[in-house]
């Protein structure tokens, strides 16, 4: 479960996201499944946002399979997947609606990152994060009741030594430097947004303090004006 501090970071991240919106490429799961290719390529050192909404559900009894590819070849390329939200119908062993994630361009049972039963239910209050050990990651999704919703940030990353033009996630992965402070949890541990959140929080506090001081000054000035006006009238009357 998310702690109160993590919830605070989430709120501040939302404020930061409003200030600076990333130019992330967005894809809809149904559109990809209905399209000519079920392969999504992440821009080198970049990210994409894959979403699914119950307002545009899959066809009845349809199973959608989409592979994600990281074209990075200089280093051992990896795919990082962080779910901002995830909600499906809860069912025993995820029979009705489920998401399976595989560590390959395929759906071999022994490569399932999500275990034998996949992922289902309402996971909005939980951190769902997966990473591949190669350049591909595959999603297989079915939604019998057609009521599921999710948003997942997919990031191109690599292991090894991070370059000057990259950001070190602190969990063994390196991502593009430009992904820092973009409003998305690309690393999966929030570290790429944490420094920005702290800076923004400090800025908000400073603005509140300055605003309070100005409000006090205006209030005191208004009181002084009200007090001084009668005195001036008395002086004019005596003259």
Q: Residue 80 and residue 157: Cα distance in Å, rounded?
A: 7
Asked if residue 206 is part of any domain, the answer here is no
Residue 170 lies in a domain: yes
Quick one: 75 exposed, middle or buried, by C-beta within 10 A (0-12, 13-18, 19+)? Answer: middle
What is residue 74's predicted lDDT score, i.e. its pLDDT?
75
Contact 97, 145 (CB under 8 A): yes
pLDDT at 209: 73
Average pLDDT, the chain: 83
Q: Is residue 36 in a domain?
A: yes
User: What would the pLDDT profile of 23-60 be if each residue is shown by its tens digit?
Assistant: 789 999 999 999 888 999 999 889 999 999 999 999 88
Query: Would you tell me how many other CB atoms lie within 10 Å of the CB of residue 8?
Result: 13
In a domain, 152, yes or no: yes
The reported pLDDT for the residue numbered 59 is 86
The length of the chain, given as a count of residues: 239
Range of the domain at 182: 4-192
Residue 22 maps to a domain: yes
- 202 lies in a domain? no
Beta carbons of 179 and 46 less than 8 angstroms apart: yes
Residues of the chain with pLDDT under 70: 1-22, 125, 197-207, 229-239
Residue 218 maps to a domain: no
- Whether 200 maps to a domain, the answer reads no
pLDDT for the residue numbered 231: 52
How many beta carbons lie within 10 A of that of residue 80, not counting itself?
26
Question: Into how many domains does the chain fold?
Answer: 1
CATH number for the domain that contains residue 92: 2.60.120.290
pLDDT of residue 166: 94
């Amino acid at each position: 479960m998310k702690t109160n501090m993590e919830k605070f970071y989430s709120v501040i991240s939302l404020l930061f996201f409003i200030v600076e919106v990333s130019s992330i490429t967005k894809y809809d799961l149904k559109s990809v499944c209905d399209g000519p290719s079920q392969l999504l390529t992440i821009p080198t050192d970049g990210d994409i946002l894959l979403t699914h909404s119950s307002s545009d559900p899959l066809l009845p009894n349809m199973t959608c399979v989409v592979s994600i590819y990281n074209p990075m070849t200089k280093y051992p390329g990896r795919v990082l997947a962080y779910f901002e939200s995830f909600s499906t119908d809860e069912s025993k062993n995820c029979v009705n609606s489920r998401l399976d994630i595989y560590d390959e361009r395929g759906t071999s049972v022994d490569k399932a990152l999500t275990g034998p039963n996949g992922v289902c239910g309402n996971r909005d209050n939980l951190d769902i994060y997966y990473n591949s050990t190669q350049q591909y990651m595959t999603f297989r999704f079915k939604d019998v009741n057609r009521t599921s919703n999710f948003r997942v940030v997919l990031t191109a990353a690599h292991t090894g030594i991070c370059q000057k033009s990259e950001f070190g996630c602190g969990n063994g992965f390196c991502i593009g430097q430009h992904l820092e402070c973009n409003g998305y949890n690309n690393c999966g541990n929030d570290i790429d947004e944490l420094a920005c959140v702290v800076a923004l929080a400090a800025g908000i506090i400073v603005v509140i303090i300055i605003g309070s001081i100005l409000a006090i000054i205006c209030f005191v000035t208004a009181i002084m004006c009200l007090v001084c006006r009668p005195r001036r009238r008395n002086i004019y009357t005596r003259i």
